[in-house]
Chain A
Amino acid sequence: MSSAANVIPAVRFENVSRHFDQVRAVDNVSIEIRVGEFFSMLGPSGSGKTTCLRLIAGFEQPTSGKIYLHGTEVGNLPPYERDVNTVFQDYALFPHMTVADNVGYALMIKKVSAPERTRRINEALELVRLPQMANRKPSQLSGGQRQRIALARALVNRPRVLLLDEPLGALDLKLRQEMQIELKEIQKRVGITFVFVTHDQEEALTMSDRIAVFNAGKIEQVGSPAEIYEHPATAFVAGFVGASNLIRDELAQKLTGTASTFSIRPEKIRMMEPGATVPNGWAWVYGTVREVVYLGMFTRFIVTLENGGELTVVRQNLDETSMDVMSNQGRRVQLMWQRAFDRVVDAK
């Protein structure tokens, strides 16, 4: 990563805050988004991720701090002076224009010649695989098609940074999963820096090169999907990205010998018959299965521990039928996991 330090980042926030009256929507955030990466801002609603995106686009001005785009401070530069484009959550397609006019809007504003414009509109429509839609009105398109047109419109100008504000939020699950893969492919093909805002952790994990996890206007952690998942820095990250068991205080003391809060992923815990031999470097605890939730591909067990507290365990349904897993209800079990998989997290 030392070589990356010499490269000027696509987007840089230096102690940026954005306050709305008393609300600190973005609170002293510093980030660097690298050129050409797929960067996700992940967090619950109201965590400041969308405001960050709007600060990059220029729809909001920072209350304090500095924002740089490719090394140039953009300060109070209006949106039309910035080399970034946005895919809006509601797509914001112009209803009185055809698809072609929507996609070509930025080119028309730039006074690109008509033949060149047509060529680039077609190229952009080709990119999102909707070349035959040029003469339709947005109202004649499905949600997924509108989404693609919004993407084509934002890409037609080849901006250096593309901002995406929960662009898949309105699509159904199947379409969303398709679009996730397609977006990632398009990003690789065009090589533009993508800044993607989402509250869906699976989406962020699927597509991103790096993820920033937002909470209450601050960034909790920045890292690759694997880092975020496997080494959550804080209790919030552990709980928000994937499911996690958080163990605190006395129970942590009993299980690990120290009272610091730690997290363990449900899929890392093994559920055994009581009295199983525990290898070196494993933690173990006894409990009773309180609840069995059959989820098709896997089953979730909620186990009440004899030392107090609960742990959630997830087990793939490899050799068991739904009847088999259901029969675990109320059974006394021994839970164990490799200590290498539990993580001490910032407990706040």
Chain B
Amino acid sequence: MSALSPSRQPRSITSRLSTFFHNNPTLTLLLLLAAPLLWLGVIYLGSLGALLLQSFYRLDDFTGIVVREFTLDTYRQLFTQSNLDIVARTVAMAAAVTVACALLAFPISFYMARYASPAGKVAFFIAVTLPLWSSYLVRVYAWKLILAKEGVVGWIFGALGLQGVLDAVLAVPTIGGPSLSVSMYGTFFAFVYVWLPYMIIPTYTALERVPGSMLEASADLGARPVETFRRVILPLAMPGVIAGSIFTFSLTLGDYIIPGVLGNSAFFIGQVVLIQQGTAGNIPLAAAFTVVPMVIMFVYLWIAGRMGAFEAL
């Protein structure tokens, strides 16, 4: 080396810097990651920590001031029957929305991943993401009109002479109501509609990655299409479906607009959080409520992991 160095040209600062970084990959990585890590650490984890901390404080009912001492009072308050009802209602809705999204997304994604031409795939991506280009509020209000008593859906049922069916559906206790837009059905349809793209895209991506030869191999080894679907396609698509369900499930758990606009005015977690920390000023209870969906998501992912949903990753 030393014998060679005298013959070298004097090198520029940038060239020497490049060499320095090239020879110190760990340092380079640290420098690159510093900003995003700080962001994640402070904004994400920091605020999560603050949230968790808040949930262990309590609101003094008389003074309306948050008492900054460790207590489980707020959680005791959370576990009252009416609040548990809200949690159960929200989780049931999130589960129903997730299952419906998965059932709707799978065939679409499967067709697009396996059979569509390249141009068809582009059209599919645009079609799937198109709703996301317009305001979420506008779309939710559009559903309110579509599902209203005098709306399109009611009219179709009437025109087909199926008014009785609609009335019977709406007469179901707790989920029914005076019209589709003022019942749990309305909440459900709007949720399924707004979150569907978040299920389709990861499902499609997972299916796209399954080589055709794998399906041929399964058939070659004697499996009928149903068996190939169950034993090969479904397990390989599962990580994508789970990824999609994380979106649909957690977005439903936290949303407060859709149940406010469409629904029978039974509360969902998101609405309670909004009310507690806004009008009621009970930040600790709002925080405790926010912890609920997080815990649910952890449990959900743990179960999914135990069931082997991520084995194909």
Report if A and B associate in a common complex.
yes
User: Which listed residue, B219, B311, B312, touches A80 by the CB 8 Å rule?
Assistant: B219
B211 touches A92 (CB 8 A): yes
Contacts beyond the supplied A88-B213, A105-B223: 18 A-B pairs with Cβ under 8 Å: A58-B219, A59-B219, A59-B220, A78-B219, A79-B216, A85-B220, A88-B216, A89-B213, A90-B211, A92-B213, A94-B232, A96-B312, A105-B231, A106-B222, A109-B221, A109-B227, A110-B222, A154-B221
| Contact partners of A109 in chain B: CB under 8 A | 221-223, 227
A80 and B220 in contact, given A90-B213, A95-B312, A96-B311 (Cβ under 8 angstroms): yes
Chain A min CB distance to B138 (Å): 42
User: Which listed residue, A80, A85, A88, A96, touches B223 by the CB 8 Å rule?
Assistant: A80
A and B contact pairs by CB, cutoff 8 A, 23 listed:
A57-B220, A79-B216, A86-B216, A86-B217, A88-B213, A88-B216, A88-B217, A92-B213, A92-B214, A92-B217, A94-B214, A94-B218, A94-B232, A96-B236, A96-B311, A96-B312, A105-B218, A105-B223, A109-B227, A153-B217, A153-B221, A157-B221, A157-B222
| Contact partners of A153 in chain B: CB under 8 A | 217, 221
Residues 68-88 of A, flagged 1 when their CB comes within 8 A of B and 0 if not, give 000000000011100011101
Closest to B213 in A: A92
Residues 49-69 of A, flagged 1 when their CB comes within 8 A of B and 0 if not, give 000000001110000000000
Question: How many angstroms between the C-alpha atoms of A88 and B236 in the bound complex?
Answer: 19
Chain B min CB distance to A92 (Å): 4
A106 touches B221 (CB 8 A): yes
| Contact partners of A78 in chain B: CB under 8 A | 219
Question: How many angstroms between the C-alpha atoms of A68 and B115 in the bound complex?
Answer: 30
Closest to A95 in B: B312
| Contact partners of B220 in chain A: CB under 8 A | 57, 59, 79-80, 84-86, 154
Within 8 A of B (CB), among A208-238: none
Closest to B215 in A: A92
Closest to B311 in A: A96
Within 8 A of A (CB), among B257-313: 308, 311-312
A96 touches B216 (CB 8 A): no
A96 touches B222 (CB 8 A): no
Question: How many angstroms between the C-alpha atoms of A242 and B223 in the bound complex?
Answer: 41
Chain A CB within 10 Å — which of B219, B222, B223, B227 has the most?
B222
Closest to A163 in B: B220
A80 touches B222 (CB 8 A): yes
Which applies to chain B's interface (DSSP): helix, strand, loop or mixed? helix
Chain B CB within 10 Å — which of A78, A90, A94, A157 has the most?
A94
A80 touches B224 (CB 8 A): yes
| Contact partners of B151 in chain A: CB under 8 A | none
Which 4 interchain pairs have the tightest Cβ spacing? A92-B217, A106-B221, A92-B213, A79-B219
Chain A CB within 10 Å — which of B220, B223, B311, B312 has the most?
B220
Chain B CB within 10 Å — which of A94, A95, A96 has the most?
A96
Binding site for A on B (CB under 8 A): 211, 213-214, 216-224, 227, 231-232, 235-236, 308, 311-312
Interface size class of A (residues with CB under 8 A): 20 to 34
| Contact partners of B219 in chain A: CB under 8 A | 58-59, 78-80
Question: How many angstroms between the C-alpha atoms of A95 and B310 in the bound complex?
Answer: 11
| Contact partners of B214 in chain A: CB under 8 A | 92, 94
Closest to A165 in B: B213
Chain B min CB distance to A82 (Å): 8
| Contact partners of B231 in chain A: CB under 8 A | 105
Chain A min CB distance to B302 (Å): 19
Chain A min CB distance to B67 (Å): 52
| Contact partners of A105 in chain B: CB under 8 A | 218, 221, 223, 231
Question: How many angstroms between the C-alpha atoms of A58 and B236 in the bound complex?
Answer: 24
| Contact partners of A88 in chain B: CB under 8 A | 213, 216-217
| Contact partners of B222 in chain A: CB under 8 A | 80, 106, 109-110, 157
Question: How many angstroms between the C-alpha atoms of A92 and B221 in the bound complex?
Answer: 12
B221 touches A59 (CB 8 A): no
Question: How many angstroms between the C-alpha atoms of A57 and B221 in the bound complex?
Answer: 10
| Contact partners of A93 in chain B: CB under 8 A | 217
Within 8 A of B (CB), among A127-179: 153-154, 157
Chain B min CB distance to A325 (Å): 38
Closest to B232 in A: A94
Question: How many angstroms between the C-alpha atoms of A142 and B148 in the bound complex?
Answer: 61
Chain A min CB distance to B33 (Å): 27
| Contact partners of A59 in chain B: CB under 8 A | 216, 219-220
Closest to B210 in A: A95
Question: How many angstroms between the C-alpha atoms of A109 and B211 in the bound complex?
Answer: 21
Closest to A108 in B: B231
| Contact partners of A58 in chain B: CB under 8 A | 219
Chain B min CB distance to A91 (Å): 8
Chain A min CB distance to B27 (Å): 31
Within 8 A of B (CB), among A273-321: none
| Contact partners of A57 in chain B: CB under 8 A | 216, 220
